[in-house]
Amino acid sequence: MRVLGIDPGYGRCGMAIVERGPGGKDILIYSDCVETSAQSEFTERLGTVATECGRLIEKFTPDEMAIEKLFFSGNQKTAMRVAEVRGALIQSATSYGIKVAEYTPAQIKNAAGGWGGADKQQVITMLRMLVTIDKKIKYDDEYDAIAVGVTHLAFVGSRTTTR
């Protein structure tokens, strides 16, 4: 199974393609962050993120997409903007006929970090053990996207798709 994992954002949006490899070890096929300029209009930023999602779907043909659910306790304006990004990304995936799964931060930390209270460094350490990563990861948002993909692979368990 090949999954497009997404850590939604509009300043920086983490995207990763993760695949279940032989022997059950997950393999990172691709990861990066879509970065947009704070000087650009929000609609332009939203379009950039959604367009990149569509490009990755066309290039890597994931079987499913997994995206982090929103959890904000602070800035409501930021939460609304990230919600809009999530909507655009979900629409992009469903327009290609791709099923979308959503996971809470606690579910992601549990699946990728070993427990629901894991901190960022614990998740990164576990990801390095769980996933074959043959590149330097520049931003935490990339790790977050990989973690979302790994979470989905853990939740679907033995259900696999032959490529």
Task: Specify if 73 maps to a domain.
Answer: yes
How far apart are alpha carbons 94 and 148 in whole angstroms? Answer: 18
Told to judge if 141 belongs to the known catalytic residues of this protein, a careful annotator would answer yes
Task: Write down the pLDDT at residue 96.
Answer: 97
Residues 6+ apart with CB under 8 A from 4: 15, 16, 17, 53, 56, 57, 60, 62, 64, 65, 66, 93, 98, 149
Which residue is catalytic, options 52, 68, 142, 144? 68
Which residue is catalytic, options 32, 63, 64, 141? 141
| CATH at 41 | 3.30.420.10
Residue-wise pLDDT tens digits, 62-90: 999 999 998 766 778 888 999 999 999 99
Token pair in block for residue 117: 């209270």
Do residues 133 and 127 touch, judged by C-beta distance below 8 A?
yes
Task: Specify if 127 maps to a domain.
Answer: yes
Higher pLDDT, 159 or 7: 7
Entry pTM: 0.91
Task: Specify if 66 maps to a domain.
Answer: yes
Average pLDDT over residues 127-137: 92
Residues 6+ apart with CB under 8 A from 39: none
Task: Specify if 161 maps to a domain.
Answer: no
Told to judge if 68 belongs to the known catalytic residues of this protein, a careful annotator would answer yes
Task: Specify if 162 maps to a domain.
Answer: no
Token pair in block for residue 38: 């704070």
Which residue is catalytic, options 7, 26, 52, 63? 7
Strands 99-103 and 2-7 turn out to be unpaired
Task: Specify if 137 maps to a domain.
Answer: yes
Told to judge if 26 belongs to the known catalytic residues of this protein, a careful annotator would answer no
Per the structure, the count of domains in the chain is 1
Residue-wise pLDDT tens digits, 91-111: 999 999 999 999 999 999 999
Q: Which of 140, 73, 70 shows the shortest CA–CA distance to 112?
A: 140
What's phi and psi for 17, nearest 5 deg? -110, 120
